[in-house]
Amino acid sequence: MRTRLFVFVSIVQAILFLAHWSVYATATHFWDGLAASWTVKLAFVLLSVSFVAASLRGWYSYDPLTRAFYSISAIWLGFASFFLLASVVSWIAYGVSAIAGLGWRPAMIADVTFGAASAATLYGIVNAAFPRVTRITITLPGLPPKWRGRTAALVSDLHLGHVRNVRFVRRVVNKLLALQPNIVLVAGDLYDGVAGDFEKLAEPWRALALSPSPAGPGASALHKPAFGVYYIAGNHEEFYRNAEYLPPLLRAGMRVLDNEKVEVDGLQLIGVHYRDAAQPERYRLVLQSMHLDRNRASVLLLHAPVRLAISEEEGISLQLSGHTHGGQFFPWTLVAKRVWAQFNHGLQRLGNLQVYTTYGTGTWGPPLRLGTRPEIAVITFQ
C-alpha cells in the first residue's frame, strides 16, 4: 500500500513540476529581468511542491496553519492551471506574430494571456463560492399520489475539509432551510478525504434533521424537511474509517442508507455506497436483495452515474448522482464530457431509467469553477 502511494505521489509531483517548469520557461522568455532571477526560480520550485506537501500534511492535521497552507496551495494550483494554458497560448501567438510579421512584443503577448488567466481564475474562485439552485421537474411512473408536487433537495460533493468547512456547510444548510424541500438527499463526498473536526462539520445538519434541534433563527420545525435527511458515502469517504465520520452525522440526525431500501411515505428510497457499486455483480446482488416493487416508483441515491444498465435492469425509476463535478473548470470540463458523455450533468434517460447528475455543491482541489456552477438541485416530482 505504501509503495503504491509513493508511486502515485511521485507521478503527481512529476507532472506538477513539469507544468511549473513550462510556466517558468515561458515567463523567462517573454519577460526579461525579474522572471529570470533566483528569487523567482526558488518561488517556482516551492510552489511546484506546495499542493502535494499540503495534501500529505492535511491527511493528518486540521490545525489552522495546515488549513491555511492547504487552502493557499489549492488556490495557487488553480492559478497554475490557467497559467499553463496561458503559456501555450503565448507561444501560439508568438509563432503567429513571427510568421505573419505582426511585430507583437513578447512582453505584450504575455501581459494579455497571463492577465486573462489571472482574471479567469479569480472569477472561478468567486463563482465556486456561491451555490445556486437548479430546479427540475421529473415525472415518475408509479409515483404515489401523495408525492405529486413534493420536492427533494439534492446536494453532493461538498468536499468539506480544509478549504470548505463549517462556515460553508452552514451556508448550505441555511439555503436548504429557506428552500423548504420535503426531503434532503446527500449523494456522497460530503468530506474531502483530509483530516477534519467531524463533530463541528456535522453539527449544522441538526437544523434539518427530524430529531430535536436547538432553538434559533431558521431552526423552526416548520422549516425542516418533513421526511428528513438521507446520506450515502462517496469515494472520498473511503479515505476514512466509518468510526471517524459517521457517528457525528448520526448524532446530528442524518439517516445513512447503508445499501438498503426504505419506504418514505410510499416512495421506495434506495441508497448504495460508492464502494459497493465498484463491482458489477456485487452491485446487482445489492439491488436484488432489496426486492423492489417494479410497479411503484423508486429513487436510487448513488454517488457516481455508474452501473446504469444494471440499475435499469433491476427496475430503478430514478438514479440521483454527483461525482463528475462537470469537470469543474476548463479544460477539464471537456475531459468530463468525454468520459461521462450525456450523463456528465443534468437529466438523462437510459431505457426506463432516468438519471440526474448534479455538478455538486463544493469543489475538490482548486476551489474554482469555470464552465460549471456549484448547485443545489431541487427536484419536483409529478
Model-level pTM?
0.91
Check whether 309 has a pLDDT greater than 70: yes
Query: Quick one: CA dihedral 134, 352, 320, 129, positive or negative?
Result: negative
Nearest to 151 by CA among 165, 164, 163, 137: 137
Rounded distance between C-alpha atoms, residue 146 and residue 77, angstroms: 48
- For residue 64, the Cα-to-chain-centroid distance in whole angstroms is 23
Rounded distance between C-alpha atoms, residue 85 and residue 80, angstroms: 9
Residue with cell 505573419: 100
Rounded distance between C-alpha atoms, residue 368 and residue 362, angstroms: 9
Rounded distance between C-alpha atoms, residue 349 and residue 339, angstroms: 17
> Which pLDDT belongs to residue 138?
98
> Which pLDDT belongs to residue 213?
44
> Which pLDDT belongs to residue 69?
96
Mean predicted confidence (pLDDT) in 245-249 = 95
Nearest to 188 by CA among 306, 305, 322, 307: 322
Q: Domains of the chain (ranges plus CATH)?
A: 2-128 (no CATH), 132-381 (3.60.21.10)
**DSSP notation for 298-325:** EEEEESSS--HHHHHHTT-SEEEE---G
> Which pLDDT belongs to residue 341?
96
Q: What is the CA radius of gyration of the chain?
A: 23
Rounded distance between C-alpha atoms, residue 111 and residue 105, angstroms: 10
**Exposure of 231 by Cβ count < 10 A (0-12 exposed, 13-18 middle, 19+ buried)?**
buried
On average, the pLDDT of the chain sits at 93
> Which pLDDT belongs to residue 216?
45
Mean predicted confidence (pLDDT) in 189-200 = 95
Rounded distance between C-alpha atoms, residue 34 and residue 36, angstroms: 5
Q: Per-residue pLDDT tens for 40-98? A: 889 999 999 999 999 999 999 999 999 999 999 999 999 999 999 999 999 999 999 99
pLDDT band at 374 (very low <50, low <70, confident <90, very high): very high
* CA distances from residue 342 to 30, 152, 293, 348 in whole angstroms, order as listed: 41, 23, 28, 7
Check whether 240 has a pLDDT greater than 60: yes
Nearest to 196 by CA among 140, 146, 246: 246
Strand partners, 117: none
> Which pLDDT belongs to residue 211?
52
Q: Assign 32 to helix, strand or coil.
A: coil
Check whether 110 has a pLDDT greater than 90: yes
Q: Are 369 and 328 in contact (CB under 8 A)?
A: yes
Q: Per-residue pLDDT tens for 22-31? A: 999 999 999 9
Rounded distance between C-alpha atoms, residue 113 and residue 90, angstroms: 6
pLDDT band at 184 (very low <50, low <70, confident <90, very high): very high
Q: Assign 72 to helix, strand or coil.
A: helix
